[in-house]
Structures are given as C-alpha cells and as structure tokens.
Amino acid sequence: MPMKNLIANFTTQLREAIAIGEKAVLTPSKNPIHNVLVSGLGGSGIGGTVMAQITDKEMKVPMIVNKDYFLPSFVNQNTLVIISSYSGNTEETVQAMETALTKGAKIVCVTSGGKIAAMAKENNCDTITIPGGNPPRASFGYSATQLLYVLQGNGLISDGFRKDLNDCITLLDKEAADTESASRVLAEQLIGKLPIIYCEARYEGIAIRLRQQINENSKMLCWHNVLPEMNHNELVGWTEPHPDAYVLMFRSVDDYSRTQKRMSITSDVVKKYTRNYFEIHSKGETQLQRSMYLLHYGDWLSWHIADMKSIDVTEVNVIDFLKGSLASA
C-alpha cells in the first residue's frame, strides 16, 4: 500500500490494533515485576519511547527503552522485557532478546514474524502478532498500541487507555481533513530548509518521531531538542543568523507553566536569527490524544515534503546497503 494511503488509514490501523490487543493472550509473570524494558529500534522502537512518556504518571515501576545490542545489567527475573521488532529480524533486537532469555526475564514479543517469532515459540514467550508487509515506520498504530495491552495485562496500568484509544480515533477522524491540509501548507515552507523541532520534555517521543519521519520519508536531515534542557545549552547557539533553519515548536495545553514561559522567551530569541518559525498546537483532552494528533500531523508533513520533492517516500536504499554490508562482514 502506498505511504499516503497508510497515513490516511491510520485510524483504521488503530481500530485493527485494538482488536488484536483485545484478543492477545498474556500469561502472568512468575515473579513480581520491578522494572520494564522495551527493546526495539527505528519504527519498531519509537512506540516504546512515546508510550513510556504517556504512562509515566501511572506506572509504579520504571520503564526504559533500549535501542542497542546490549541490555542494562539490572535486567533479571523481575524485569518485563518487551521485544518490539516489526520484521522480527532486527539484528540488534534479536541479540537483545537472546540476552533477556539468559537473564530469566519475563519476555513479551510484538512482531509480525521472523527470528523473533521463532525464538518466542521455542522459548514459550508471550507473542502478539501484528500484520506485516509495510515499512515499520508506517505501523506505529499496530506496535505502539500493543505496548499498552502488555502493560495492562501485567498489572502495571489500568484499562483506562481503552477509552482513550477510541477517543483518539474519534479525534483524528474529526480532524482528518484539516490535519492533511494544514500540514501541506507547512510542508511548502520547509522545502530547502533545515527543520529544528522543539517541544516540552514530556513530548520528546513525538519530536523524535517527526525527526525520524523527516529523515526517512522526506530524505532530509533535521534535529530536535527539548525544553527546559535546550535553554541550558543549545539556546546559546542562537547568536547569529540561520536563514536556512526552520524551527517547529510543539505546543500543548498541558505544557508545564514554567516551560510555557521558557517557550515564549525562546521563540523571541530564535526569531532574531531566523524568520522561519512555526508553532504546531496539539488537540485532544489527554496526553495520549494530543500525542497521536501531533504524530499524525507529523506523518502527513513528512509525506507532503517528499511529494513536493518528487521522491520515493518508501525508498531506504542507504539503510538496505548498511544491512547488506553488515550481513557480509
């Protein structure tokens, strides 16, 4: 399916993901869970980053996201390890799962198949199987949604997310036309520019997602930073004109009041050195809804940039080259 259709059908994917999650069979952990680790990279791992931030006010144990071959030393029989690999063959995630097995961790896999599914079957690990065949970055709805079901199934969050997810669908469907058209207008302004994404720290996962989508879909470099951290270092870099920079600031009604003041002051500083500044305001009643709105807006934005540049959104030849070179090394 073309990337444009995958983005347009995001709420359909969310509905399918909910149906998959509702049918998932999860066995109780033999040991108390003291911490949670999500292991996954790229489009398979970003769901962990986003959901860790959304659930952090409810989770009573720490949850971190691992994007490497290796696992932290704290992983043991009291750790819930969620292995997230869309293809099921991600080299780093396969190795991480092998290590988690030796540590005796409680393992749940979210995948469409591959080596991960085979290892899970061999070792009697819980597995939630999601539809394959699409770019991992276009399957956020499938993979990220399952993380909520895994956390709830292991007694770490309540089932309130179920209504919240359905409310996300209602919101995104209602805003669909405006989201697509508004992101196109912004995309026109980003052609030939270097996007710089700023947001409050609690929404960093969404900023990372947009950066990754601009990298992969739009074939452009960009970077992101969060407030208040960037006020202690990166802000000093704004001391000379940067006409090619285009600053995108995510804003939400639940941004902390002091951080909102920082955003206003930061925008005043930035505007002295670039005319290119735009604020993207989230919509929704909860952090999950606002995050999904911003994420969907960003997905459309990255697609429109690619469309205007007349490039193949799905092409990732340099990543394929890297994987091929590693396979023969």
User: How many Cβ atoms from other residues are within 10 Å of residue 236's Cβ?
Assistant: 10
User: Which domain range does residue 18 map to?
Assistant: 3-159
Domain identity same for 11 and 150: yes
Domain identity same for 192 and 275: yes
Cα 103 from chain centre: 27
Q: Which residues contact 102 (CB under 8 A, 6 or more apart)?
A: none
Domain identity same for 7 and 137: yes
Tell me, yes or no, whether 293 lies in a domain: yes
Domain identity same for 144 and 183: no
Tell me, yes or no, whether 180 lies in a domain: yes
Q: Just list the catalytic residues.
A: 216, 232, 323
- Look at residue 329 in the predicted model and tell me its pLDDT: 76
Cα 274 from chain centre: 28
Tell me, yes or no, whether 164 lies in a domain: no
Domain identity same for 39 and 155: yes
- Look at residue 316 in the predicted model and tell me its pLDDT: 82
Tell me, yes or no, whether 19 lies in a domain: yes
- Overall domain count for the chain: 2
Tell me, yes or no, whether 323 lies in a domain: no
pLDDT, tens only, 62-94: 999 999 999 999 999 999 999 999 999 999 999
- Look at residue 1 in the predicted model and tell me its pLDDT: 81
Q: pLDDT > 90: what percent of the chain?
A: 94
Query: Residue 213's pLDDT band (boundaries 50, 70, 90)?
Result: very high
Tell me, yes or no, whether 319 lies in a domain: no
Tell me, yes or no, whether 314 lies in a domain: no
pLDDT, tens only, 233-284: 999 999 999 999 999 999 999 999 999 999 999 999 999 999 999 999 999 9
CATH number at residue 63: 3.40.50.10490
Distance CA 223, CA 197 (A): 6
Domain identity same for 122 and 264: no
pTM of the model: 0.95
Domain identity same for 59 and 150: yes
Distance CA 283, CA 63 (A): 26
Tell me, yes or no, whether 48 lies in a domain: yes
